[in-house]
Amino acid sequence: MIGAGPGGMTAALYAARANLNVAMLDRGIYGGQMNNTDDIENYPGFTTIKGPELGEKMYQGTVKAGVNFVYGDVQNVTVDDQQMKHIQTDSDELVASAVIIATGSNNRKLGVPGEEKFSGKGVSYCAVCDGSFFKGKNVTVVGGGDSAISEGLYLANVTDGVNVIHRRDQLRAQKVLQNRAFDNDKIDFTWNTSVTEILGDENHVTGVKIHNNQVGDDTTLDTDGVFVYVGNFPNSQIFNNLNITDQAGWIITNDQMETTIPGIYAIGDVRQKQLRQITTAVGDGGIAGQNAFEYFEAIKHRQTVKD
């Protein structure tokens, strides 16, 4: 498994329970994006659960099943003439018959002046990580999807006020999240507007320049922090040589999580699909883990027939 988020851990669990020798590679702590999520309210079995707590529970399940967790930053994956997969990390090379890619996605940036300069000085992509630094202050959230509104609600609990800036005239988030945000007196909305620059002094963010997409006005808003949630991009660059992605970088699979290369599967947020949630990543992982077992069985059968 390349990646130890919810999909990778589920795939590892299924494969290990099928008595396969499983290594789960990740360059960070297990749990993936769940570690940046405060309350998870749509995972079956829990009315609400903290993201890191759910990650820990999943990880303990893999440990019990005998999965080997390996820290490593994967640099490249190649396939030899015998269909063996060579996984090159920053410190080692692993060889496997099957690989399940679960590398997820990263937050997309605005790409405006000031964003890089003030990253860590008021610009953030994780409210759970950085929200406590803004107690008693006012912050801006850029975006209109589930992540933007969910994290905006979190920030409303720890800051004096939240202004959600969205380039459209309505949100894309789930209705239940929208209703909570609209009912929260500490959350305001700026519609049909894009952030064009992030302003600040030498130490921290002081404001944003914004452009109204309908009227055409350019104005400046004061703010102490900017939290950016404008979509994701896939962590698939290291697989470019395999030619298994679409033009945007999402890995293409069938409904069995199979890529065009036998023995290479892709699951979770890195895969080309419509809904990217913990539940869908877990579902993908179960399918891929079981299919990896079936792949090994097919190899064993061919070897037996050949012998």
Active-site residues, by number, are 126, 129-130
Q: Is residue 10 within 8 Å of 278, Cβ to Cβ? A: no
Query: Closest by alpha carbon to 251, among 232, 270, 278?
Result: 270
Q: Is residue 156 within 8 Å of 139, Cβ to Cβ? A: no
**Burial grade of 103 (CB within 10 A; 0-12, 13-18, 19 or more):** buried
Measured distance CA(148)–CA(13) in Å, rounded? 31
Measured distance CA(11)–CA(122) in Å, rounded? 37
Alpha helices in the chain (DSSP H): 6-17, 51-65, 127-130, 146-158, 175-183, 278-306
Query: Closest by alpha carbon to 138, among 171, 163, 167, 161?
Result: 161
- DSSP for 180-216, please give it: HHHH-TTEEEE-SEEEEEEEE-SSSEEEEEEEETTT-
Question: CB within 8 A of 72, min separation 6: which ones?
Answer: 25, 26, 27, 89, 90, 91, 92
**The pair of three-digit structure tokens given for residue 53, joined into one six-digit string:** 């707590």
**Burial grade of 182 (CB within 10 A; 0-12, 13-18, 19 or more):** exposed
